[in-house]
Homo-oligomer: A and B are copies of this chain.
Amino acid sequence: MKKDELRSDCPINYALEYLGDKWTLLIIRDLIFEGKQFYKEFLTSKEGIATNILSDRLKKLEAQGIVVSQVYEKQRTQKIYQLTQKGRDLIPLLVEAIIWSAKYKQGLNVSDEFIAKLASDKEQVITAIEAHIGTDTFSANRAQP
């Protein structure tokens, strides 16, 4: 199969081909839930991504329009990575993944409060997550890289 050629026109297959490797969604997770925006920050994730893989995935995510990068003005040797709307629209999918995993696997790092909140008003939670991605309020809580 050539790249850029889908195996089928099935929407699930499409998502799988673009997101269904072991790293891509973890980067998106970091952008959404961890507020990470810099190369080095992604490198520090628990799962331990290699530099070449990270570099490759960031490039692909940008090519697919899920992420945009720009020079970080306060530190012009660095780039800042941010989700596009296409990327933010993956929040519901990730939320469903969290719900499913939390339901069926003990000992994962998910707070009961978060699950309870989702159960009572999922839409509101998703909206709230989306709203505070990349805002100053949010960034202010993060250590500078």
Interface residues of chain A, those whose CB is within 8 Å of chain B, are: 7-17, 20-22, 25-26, 29, 45-48, 65, 86, 89-90, 92-94, 96-105, 107-110
- Selected from B8, B25, B45, B94, the residue in CB contact (under 8 A) with A47 is B8
Establish whether residues B101 and A11, one from each chain, have CB atoms under 8 Å apart when the complex forms: yes
State A101–B104 Cα separation when bound (angstroms): 26
Cβ contact within 8 Å between B12 and A101: yes
Inter-chain contact B94/A100, CB cutoff 8 Å: no
Which residues of B have CB within 8 Å of A108?
9-11, 14
| Shortest distance from the beta carbon of A125 to any chain B beta carbon, whole Å | 14
* Chain B residue nearest to A109 in the complex (CB): B9
Q: Which residues of B contact A89 (CB under 8 A)?
A: 100, 103-104
The interface centre, meaning the residue of A7, A11, A48 with most chain B CB atoms within 10 A of its CB, is A11
- Is the CB–CB distance between B14 and A47 below 8 Å? no
Distance of A114 from chain B, by nearest CB (Å): 10
CA of A109 to CA of B26 in the docked complex: distance in angstroms?
A: 27
In the complex the two chains form, is A93's CB within 8 Å of B104's CB? Answer: no
Q: With A and B bound together, what is the CA distance between A97 and B90 in angstroms?
A: 8
In the A-B complex, list the 9 residue pairs whose CB atoms are closest, starting with the nearest: A11-B101, A93-B96, A15-B97, A8-B46, A14-B101, A7-B47, A11-B98, A9-B109, A92-B96
